[in-house]
Amino acid sequence: MATGRDLARDVRARLRGRRLRLALILLLFLVQAATALVFPFVVGDLVDTITLGGTADDVWWWLTLLAAAPVVGGVFTWLGVTAMGRLVETMISELREDYVGAALRLPRDTMERAGAGDAVTRASDDVAEVSDALPQALPRIVVSATTLVIVGVGLGGVNVWYLAAFAVTIPVYALTARWYLRIAPPIYLAERAASSRRGAHLLGGIQALPTVHAHRLEGTQLARIGGAAWESVRWAMRARIVQNRLFGRLSVAEGAGLVLVLGIGVWLALTGRATPGAVTAAALLLLRIVEPIEALLMIMDDMQSAIAALGRLVGVIGRSDGASDAADGEAVDDVDTREEGREARPDLVVDVQDVGFAYDDDAEPALRDVTLGMAAGEHVAIVGATGSGKSTLASLIAGVFEPTRGQVRRRLPRRSVVTLTQEVHLFSGTVEDNLTLARPGATRAEITAALRLAGAWDVVQSLDDGLDTVIGAGGTTLSSADAQHLALARLALADPGLAILDEATAEAGSADTSALEEAAGAVIDGRAAVVIAHRLSQAAAADRVVVLDRGAVVEQGSHETLLAAGGTYRRLWDAWSA
């Protein structure tokens, strides 16, 4: 969540180069606000003309002016609102694009902790809230502010006593605004957060639908979704209650001001210091001056929700900027590498010393005192039982997680590391679109070479339109093995310094296993690679095998060395080979 200072900085940055256009828009609204003075003064003059025996020509003149003023005001309002709408919608479009780009740059652990539902809610509901509120609210704010100033001057011009009467009500409006700005922001922020949690539960249930059905968790999941939905409703009701209290206080202030102005007007008329027309004009001006004040306070209601939504978007953008800097930085060297007399080896792409990691402060450590170094081009297989910490260690090497203890002496920046898991996602688009995500601007020759290396060329050739075939949602369906071959081709195009294969071939059927493992070996040839082995044949092909048990390294060495040692790895190999 961004602070108010962060929001102001972001808005100023988006207005850079557009301030002249904004000034012209404000000028349009200033002219429109000036037309608001016409109606009260013309009606007042009409009253005096009629009561004091004016001619028909005088009346027609005032009526013509009365009819022309709204037309002129309407034209300038339309011009101002249209120009403001274009300006704001352009900025919102840029905000939406910046948010999506920022979300994609965030560290994976940040996204995993927040959840896909929160990210989707920000991209949909929060952007919609900003898009719905700001294009309407900003013109109203500008119109109300300029009208307030101009009509206030006009009210004082009729008689300073009227302005004094209005001034009596200003503390009521000020206290109302102060109360509202103290109460409303946390309520609207909580409402947006509750909406995010509702979206997270709903999206999580849909994404895990097969698991929900398999374990008969429909009732539990529905209860979670229902609870989150009712929490969102409760916060929405609290916001409406605060809104109604705001409207009530505004009505009291308006009534008090009108009574005071009319009372002063009657007194001035009875003492001969004001005409009936002047009293009428003063009453109408008061209504005109109260209207923008109430509009500003009511707009605050819309703006609070929009500002809360905007803060959630800008917060992600700001956090991503820092994450992007870290991702694009040099290899990590977090500590004094001379500590305890040990020097960091510059030839290593990964060098971790005695690291530990726990997902929560009070949780059982997922890694314990792990020391591992990897040279450029070396292939390291990590094996162990389920829950032994294999994926956690791979994530720490990739820079997704930071150790809770120990030292990361050397690690490649995140942009130089590509992780490939067993869950392959195909984006909605052509095969070429899916591949060039890894390297925008890649030529057809480079794409073809990557496909051949990953054993995916025959797959693409078998499709109706080749590289132009639409896949993903609504497109041609590919088998798990074919999708994994495309993912390997994408990895080859990315050409990372370190590749991490986290059970990347686990989804393949037995008939596809050999071809997929051969393709994976070809893609990682010549580059450093960490292989989370679900088949020990992958470990046998690696330069080194690291055996994990309950988060600790229990064995480390080549396949042949560990077999000869007759330890944990030998037992795993014998069980797998049986």
What is residue 511's predicted lDDT score, i.e. its pLDDT?
A: 58
Whether 456 contacts 486, CB under 8 Å? yes
* CA proximity to 6, closest of 322, 317, 306: 317
Position 341 confidence tier, pLDDT thresholds 50, 70, 90: very low
What is the percent of the chain where pLDDT is above 90?
16
* Residue 406 φ then ψ, to 5°: 85, -170
Strand-pair partners of 546: 382, 556
Other beta carbons less than 10 A from residue 51's beta carbon: 11
Residue with more model confidence, 409 or 363 = 409
> For 370, how many CA atoms within 13 A lie in the half-sphere containing its CB?
33
pLDDT of residue 155 exceeding 90, the answer is no
* CA proximity to 261, closest of 124, 127, 152, 164: 164
The pLDDT tens digits of the residues spanning 414-463 come to 788 888 887 788 888 999 999 998 898 899 999 999 999 999 898 899 98
From CA 188, how far away is CA 180, in angstroms rounded?
Answer: 12
The pLDDT tens digits of the residues spanning 196-245 come to 788 778 877 887 787 778 778 888 888 888 888 899 899 989 988 988 88
Residues whose CB falls within 8 Å of the CB of residue 450, separated by 6 or more in sequence, listed in order: 435, 442, 489, 490, 492, 493
Whether 451 contacts 463, CB under 8 Å? no
* Residue 338 φ then ψ, to 5°: -90, 0
Residues whose CB falls within 8 Å of the CB of residue 178, separated by 6 or more in sequence, listed in order: none
The pLDDT tens digits of the residues spanning 540-559 come to 999 999 999 989 999 999 99
Q: How is residue 173 written in tokens?
A: 């409006």
From CA 129, how far away is CA 92, in angstroms rounded?
Answer: 11
Which domains, from first to last, does the chain contain? 4-321 (1.20.1560.10), 412-542 (3.40.50.300)
> For 557, how many CA atoms within 13 A lie in the half-sphere containing its CB?
14
From CA 102, how far away is CA 90, in angstroms rounded?
Answer: 18
What is residue 383's predicted lDDT score, i.e. its pLDDT?
A: 92
Other beta carbons less than 10 A from residue 213's beta carbon: 11
Residue with more model confidence, 411 or 107 = 411
* Residue 60 φ then ψ, to 5°: -65, -35
Other beta carbons less than 10 A from residue 211's beta carbon: 11
Position 336 confidence tier, pLDDT thresholds 50, 70, 90: very low
pLDDT of residue 319 exceeding 80, the answer is no
Taken in order 490, 492, 495, 501, the sign of the CA dihedral is: positive
Residue with more model confidence, 300 or 67 = 67
